[in-house]
Each structure stands twice: as structure tokens, then as C-alpha cells.
Structure 1
Amino acid sequence: MEKLANLRRWARRLVKAERLLTISTILILLLLWFALTELKLVPEILVPSPNRVFTSFIHILQEGYKDNSLLTHLRDSMMRLLSSFVLVILTAIPLGLLSGYNSKVRAIMYPLVEFYRPLPPLAYYTLLVLWMGIEDSSKIALLYLAGFAPVFIACESGVRKLKQDYIDGAYTLGADSRQIFFHVVFPACLPDIFIGLRTAVGVSYTTLVAAEMVAAVTGIGWMVLDASKFLRSDIIFVGIIIMGITGMWIDAGLRAIERKAVPWKGKE
């Protein structure tokens, strides 16, 4: 009992130390940024001062950017990102699991995914615009394709590395193929599924800027691109910081869901 209590105290101290390291890293980066701009080591047009970035953020928060509020830009970007993410969940997870579970499905899906996965998004975005128009549908399709491959591969890999003993044991206990898939294969693959989902969010978010390059007038990615035309590095920094923070929030939400859905992860 005493040993368990000591272990818990050690774990709490470790968590506090990690938080302190995180806070220290952020403060050091801010101090370096402040010193770099105050000492004029780089032109302000390339690296704006923290005060200028904060002032621009307050101005955009109050006045908006190019006739649209900051909330509108953020809402439209999140709508495009989350819409594609929902489609990825509904399609990539079942197809990936089936591909790992069934060699015939894998023979159909794997070459298609492996063919388009290395392609740069802008290489086929023009085709999506021609086929689907310049509205949000082509942008969502681009983000969907960017996020589909990581989730599909993670799910397929999770099934294929599953120990055969688990499946054989379920068969021995009288389970049929459907029960094995839903009660053995799917739960065992949940850690890999969440890794794929977290990777997909990052890949889709990096593709968001490319998606908002064509015929968009709203979105955080569009705001960054538009500001770059006028060398407004302060607004570019504002957009990048907003995208980084929202990306961290989405990832934190996925990790929280993972802790609830996969409580056994890391406790083997």
C-alpha cells in the first residue's frame, strides 16, 4: 500500500515537472521573439514584434478582416475542416478495418490509396475545382482526401498486426466472424485508429491553406494568404498562431476521447 502511494506521489511530481518544462519552453520562445525584434536583429517586415502582432489581433477581433469578422473566418475554416473529418471517420475507419480483415477488400482499396497518397494536394485540387466547382464542396473534398489516407493506413495496419491468438480464442469460445470483428478486432485497433485520426487532423489542417487559395474570401488560411500579398507579416503571425492553437485544441479533444474510449492504452 505504501509502495503504491509513493508511486502516485512520484507520478504527480513528474506531471508537475512536465508542466513546468512546457511553460518554461513557451516563455523562453516569447522572450527570444521579444529580444529578436527589440534589438532589430531582423527586419520587422519579416518578424513583427509581439506587441505589433497582439495589436493586429485586437484590431481584427474588433473590426474583422476584409469585411468579415475573425469569428466568420475561423467558423468557415473549422466547418470545412470538421466536415471533411466527419466524412473521413465514416469512410476511412470501416474501409481500413475491412481491408485489414479481408484480403479482397485490401486488394481493391490499397492500390488506390497508395497511388494518390504521395501526390501533392495542389496537383489534383485543380481537377476537384473543375469537377465540383469553386464552392466549399471542392475544398471539403480536398481535405477529405488528405485525411483519408492516414486513417485508412492506420486502421489497416492495426488489424494486420493483431495477434492471431485473440481471434483463435474468440473462435474457440463460439464467436462468429461478425462478433469477432466488432468485439475483438475493432477494440484492439482503437489505439491505431486514434493515431490515424490525430495524424489526419494535422495533415488536413496543413492542406487547409491550399484549399482556401482558390476562390475563397473567408477562412484563416485565406486570411494568411491574402495578408502575404501585402507583406502584412503581423496578420500572417496572427493567422498562424490561431491555426496552431485551434489545432492543439482539436488534438486535445481527440486525446480526451481516446482516454475514455481506450482506458487500457499504456497499461499493459
Structure 2
Amino acid sequence: MLDRLTKARPARPGVSYGAPGDGSSALISLATAVALIALWFLVTGMGWVRPLFLPSPAAVWGKFVLAATEGVSNSTLAQHTLASLGRVLGAFFLALAIAVPVGILMGVNRVIRGLLDPVIEFYRPLPPLAYLPLIIIWLGIGEFPKVFLIFLAIFAPMAIAARAGVRSVSIEQIHAAYAMGASKLQVIFHVILKAALPEIFTGMRIGIGVGWTTLVAAEMVAAHRGLGFMVLNSAEYLASDAVIMGIIVIGILAFAFDLLIRRIERALIPWKGKV
């Protein structure tokens, strides 16, 4: 019995020693969320902060119910949400259709990389509010400028991620494909694109997050409906309960889309992190 307990066993990497960051953090995240909500109840219930600066959870919930039924800022919450979803998703899919091919071309062609890289790297760190006035001057104040502003914010991280994915492809895989008679297009589609998918999905996750953060700036341009417009309009009247309610809704939507992209990534790239 003692011999069996003391007998050496083969070590399995990530199990015996533990891989970096291994294990689920769901319970920790849930506990953190519960603690923050409890602290919110405590701070507002004890009156440590004036309601103007931090309304109670009950006040925010009441505003949520009011927005969902009667509406705030001239529209219901569903109407605001649908307007914002249309702008963010429209810009996201437009960026996905353009930025990923552009990023791949930048990775495989030095001329295209030399032409586009300076432009993307120049405007990428600029806040959307910096070039918002130019977009208004060039495109006016209709619906397209709002979508275009979000598109520009999403385009850069997606293109850079796709380019980085191409540059990370193993050269041995490319040489092996050419040795077996593959054409250049076949190498791009069947070797480079598949190997770059993890980076592309990372760019998609970053892009959708940037799109939601740009939403408020986009809906400053003569909007009459949308979550960002609702937040800005409520702030003008110091309705902090509506502001916080709008922020929570935007955060939940952004988090939901991030989870959706993660699910799609796990389905399409089951080998990620295993090879």
C-alpha cells in the first residue's frame, strides 16, 4: 500500500504544475459582481453619497422600467437599443468585410503594407472625437456619418490583428504547402488565413468593444434616438439614474457580444491554445 502511494507518476504539463492562468474564474467574477452591487446598496442606503452623484439601485431600476414602458428621451428603451444596435453592428460587419482582407493583404504584400500601414497607424491612436468634426464637415449629419465614425474606430484594430495573424504563420507550413504544389491563392486561403484566425477573432473582440465605446461620440451627431443619445440627453438634465441605466445597458450588450464572439471562436478554432 505504501509503495503504491509513494510510487512516482508521470507528470502532465498543466495538471501537475498548473498552466499559467489555468482554471475557471467564473465564481470569482460572480462574487466580485455581487460585492460591488452590495457596496452600491450600502453606500446609497446609508446616504454617504448624494443621489445626484450616485442614485440608488432602486432608482436606476425604476428608471429602467419607465424607459422600457413609457420611454425616456422621446423613445422607449427598445427603440433606443435597436437604433444603437443597427449602427454598431452595421459598422462592425462593414469593418469585418473590409479590414480583414486589407489586413491579410498587408501581411502578404509589402507594397500594400507600405501604402496603408502609415495611414492606419497614424489615425488609430486618435480618439474618435478628434476627427468627428471633419466627418461632420465632409459627410453631414445624417445616419451614415454615425456608422462611418464607428467603422473607422473598429477598422484599425481589426486590420492590425489580421496583419499580425498573417505575420505569425509558421514559414515551414507555407513551404510545405508550396512543396505539395499549392498555388499562392491556395496558400493564402488554406494555410495563412486558417493560421491567422485566432488573431482575427481577437481583433473582432477588440473591434466590437471599441465600437460600443465610440457609440456615444457617434450619437452626438444630431441623433434623435439611441443609447448614447439617451445617456447624453439625460446628462443635460442631470438625470443620473437614466445615465447609469444607459451605461449598464451598453455594458451588458457589449459583454453579450463579446461572449458570442468567444463562442463562435471556440466552435471555429477548436485547436487554439492546444498546438
TM-score in same-fold range (> 0.5) = yes
TM-fit CA distance, 1:104:
1.0
Task: Give SS of 1:214's match.
Answer: coil
Q: Does 1:100 align with 2:107?
A: yes
TM-fit CA distance, 1:22:
2.1
The 2-side partners of 1:160 and 1:190 are apart by 12
Q: Name which of 75, 84, 88 aligns with 2:91.
A: 84
Task: Give SS of 1:66's match.
Answer: coil
Deviations 1:9-57 (A, max 9, x none): xxxxx54xx3322221111111000001111111111010001111111
The 1-side partners of 2:37 and 2:118 are apart by 46
Match of residue 163 from structure 2: 156
Deviations 1:53-105 (A, max 9, x none): 11111111110113211111000000000000011011000000010011111
TM-fit CA distance, 1:136:
1.1
Letter in 1 for 2:252: I
Match of residue 221 from structure 1: 228
Letter in 2 for 1:100: G
The answer (yes or no) to whether the contact 2:73–2:233 under 8 Å persists in 1 is no
Comparing 140-149 and 37-46, the one that deviates more: 37-46
The answer (yes or no) to whether the contact 2:205–2:258 under 8 Å persists in 1 is yes
Match of residue 11 from structure 1: none
The 1-side partners of 2:73 and 2:120 are apart by 39
TM-fit CA distance, 1:119:
1.8
Q: Name which of 62, 77, 83 aligns with 1:70.
A: 77
Trace 1:13-162 onto structure 2 (pairs within 5 A).
Answer: 14-15=23-24, 18-162=25-169
In angstroms, what is the RMSD of aligned CA positions?
1.6
The 1-side partners of 2:220 and 2:112 are apart by 35
Match of residue 10 from structure 1: none
TM-fit CA distance, 1:126:
1.4
Comparing 22-31 and 230-239, the one that deviates more: 22-31
More helix by share: 1
Letter in 2 for 1:261: L
Trace 1:144-223 onto structure 2 (pairs within 5 A).
Answer: 144-223=151-230
Unaligned runs of 5+ in 1: 8-13
The 2-side partners of 1:19 and 1:124 are apart by 39
Unaligned runs of 5+ in 2: 1-10, 16-22
Deviations 1:103-150 (A, max 9, x none): 111111111111211222112111111222211100000000000000
Trace 1:240-251 onto structure 2 (pairs within 5 A).
Answer: 240-251=247-258
The 1-side partners of 2:168 and 2:273 are apart by 17
% same residue: 43
The 2-side partners of 1:21 and 1:127 are apart by 45
Letter in 2 for 1:144: F
The 1-side partners of 2:104 and 2:196 are apart by 8
The 2-side partners of 1:119 and 1:30 are apart by 34
Higher Cα radius of gyration: 2
Task: Give SS of 1:44's match.
Answer: coil
The 2-side partners of 1:115 and 1:64 are apart by 41
> Which structure 1 residue ranges, 4+ long, deviate > 3 Å from structure 2?
none
Letter in 1 for 2:195: A
The 2-side partners of 1:66 and 1:104 are apart by 50
TM-fit CA distance, 1:167:
0.6
